[in-house]
Amino acid sequence: MHYVIGDVHGCFKEMTDLLKKIEKKDSEAEIIFVGDFIDRGSAVWDVLLWAMDHITEDGKYQSVVGNHEDMVIEWYEKQFLPWWEAGGFQSRSRMPETYFDFSKWLDAVDCLTPGKLERIILFFKSLPFEKKIAVSGIDYRIVHGWYADKEPDYGKRRYLSIWTRHNSGNTVTNEVIIHGHTPTIAPNYALPGTRPGLIGYEKNAINVDGGCCFGGQISYPCMLCAICLETLEEIYPYTLEERFRMLAGVPLTEMEAQKMVQDYERDFPGENDYRNMIEQRLNAV
């Protein structure tokens, strides 16, 4: 079966725990990421090395490109290379840094030369901006941000697919769009039925960015999310109780942890008509 995993953002333990959980139940699983492997998290380099070693165009592990990878490509071509060619570290000018923290990771592992960066940039450039999969009578389109279906220009369509934030669903085509980019904990994603920090649903659309890298900063579970395209089963690396214990910062009693789960489930019961509509389409086949 096919599974889509949301924005990882350097959360290596969460990623490996989630992969183990999926593959324990489905050894033949085909897994597609929505990009944004880098920045923000605590183990960016570990995540990137895993991705470069495992992700291929049409193998067991695949991915589309995220806006954070796209930013690094632009940084490399428009800032880093001109600076390097002008003298680099021998010059008096300061090295241009990436918008987020990726250049600091590169510096920590002594990877700030064109030769050492080449593999990373080529990997980022190899990632497509969309993937299409037909499963159980549904055409899924997997992108990082959103799908610009009416844009005829390839470059603009690529940019919009990576960068657009959209939360009003797909009312243009009958495809189901699966995306990340805007975490379900974001204030501008407060849709009816949304469970912040878990998978979100819109009309003919599924948001798999639970904001994993923000865990501990706010009171939501902030899970790394996966969804099975054939069944709509949601898969997370941990139970809600396990996740709240991880994020609490202090040991919790069983009663305290259970109360956090009960409060969350009371506030966000997760009844979602949009999920039900997609599920009905799957069951109709």
Q: Is the pLDDT of residue 285 over 80?
A: no
| CATH architecture classification, 2-65+127-283 | 4-Layer Sandwich (3.60)
pLDDT of residue 249: 86
Nearest Cα neighbor of 22 from 217, 153, 208, 251 is 208
Distance (Å, whole) CA 48 – CA 9: 10
* pLDDT per position as a tens digit, 31-71: 999 999 999 999 999 999 999 999 999 999 999 999 999 99
Please check whether residue 117 is in contact with residue 106, taking contact to mean a CB–CB distance below 8 angstroms: yes
Distance (Å, whole) CA 92 – CA 148: 43
pLDDT of residue 167: 82
Across 95-114, average pLDDT: 96
Q: Both ends of the chain: CA-CA distance in Å?
A: 16
* pLDDT per position as a tens digit, 220-265: 999 999 999 999 999 999 999 999 999 998 999 999 999 999 999 9
10 Å CB burial of residue 92 (0-12, 13-18, 19+) is exposed
Residues of the chain with pLDDT > 70, as a percent, come to 100
> At which residue do the structure tokens 């649903």 appear?
201
Q: Is 107 left (phi over 0), alpha (psi -120 to 50) or beta?
A: alpha
* pLDDT per position as a tens digit, 130-183: 999 999 899 999 999 999 877 889 999 999 999 999 888 998 899 999 999 999
Distance (Å, whole) CA 264 – CA 196: 9
Please check whether residue 137 is in contact with residue 284, taking contact to mean a CB–CB distance below 8 angstroms: yes
Nearest Cα neighbor of 199 from 235, 147, 230, 163 is 235
Please check whether residue 208 is in contact with residue 4, taking contact to mean a CB–CB distance below 8 angstroms: yes
Distance of CA 151 to the CA centre of its chain: 24
List the domain boundaries for the chain.
2-65+127-283, 67-126
**Residue 270, token pair as written in the block:** 């997760």
Please give the helix or strand (H or E) that residue 141 lies within, else none.
Answer: strand 138-143
Phi, psi angles (nearest 5°) of residue 159: -60, -50
Please check whether residue 180 is in contact with residue 150, taking contact to mean a CB–CB distance below 8 angstroms: no
Distance (Å, whole) CA 125 – CA 214: 27
